[in-house]
Amino acid sequence: MHNRFIPVAALAAAILTTACGTNTGGEPTAASPSSSASESPTRSAVHELRLARAEECKRELRLNVAAAIPHTVDREYAAAAASDGTPFVFSYGGRAWLRMSDKSLWSLDGAGGSLTRDTAAEQAFGSWPGAGSGEGRACQPAGGIPAADDMSQSGPYRWIEGGHQRLRVNSGVYAVPAQIPPTGTVLRFAVIRGPAPTLGEVVPGVDDVPIPPPAQTPN
């Protein structure tokens, strides 16, 4: 799927219009009183507030560009995951990526078990944090995923286990959520489920826990 990007200036204008309280024309603007040419215009408190919010929005966009992630991703969450060395995933424009602690992006689209590093997305998000017409579509599930792990593959590798997608990253096995949010989320370690216990089999941590005696009823 091709993802068309737009320059950060155009994206900033769109975001400022909706998120920063810019007047969109639905609210009438009061006419300013007439003044002589010698009088200098005075900025109102509302005007100053709008300027401050516009500068804050642009600052946030620049920080997302520095992090090489889209503007919809929770940048602080992604930074915390990188500090912990925890794999972080996010979706954008109908696609999804795995983000490593070194800011590298690995595509979660396509077939096969081995993930491919998406240097094009890294460069794109490192230049501007916005996408074009693909934005807003749901993340499409990848097909052709193998049914078992392949330990001979050293990079990020995924497979299907018990109907759920698993991802091995740096010897850790993680569970990939069915729906990856645009804001992003950290991957949790996969729960290794063994076969169901049979009758008479001792379940560690359950059957070997002593059962307290019943409380004595006073006479």
36 assigned to some structural domain: no
173 assigned to some structural domain: yes
32 assigned to some structural domain: no
> Measuring CA to CA, which residue among 161, 170, 152, 154 is closest to residue 190?
161
34 assigned to some structural domain: no
Per-residue pLDDT tens over the stretch 92-145:
999 999 999 999 999 999 889 999 999 999 999 988 766 443 444 445 556 689
Per-residue pLDDT tens over the stretch 51-101:
888 887 787 878 888 889 999 999 999 999 999 999 999 999 999 999 999
Number of domains in the chain: 1
90 assigned to some structural domain: yes
pLDDT at 13 over 80: no
> Measuring CA to CA, which residue among 92, 116, 94 is closest to residue 105?
116
pTM of the predicted structure, to 2 decimals: 0.64
Supply the range of the domain harboring residue 170: 1-22+44-197
Per-residue pLDDT tens over the stretch 154-204:
999 999 998 899 999 998 999 999 999 999 999 999 976 555 555 555 555
pLDDT at 213 over 60: no
213 assigned to some structural domain: no
137 assigned to some structural domain: yes
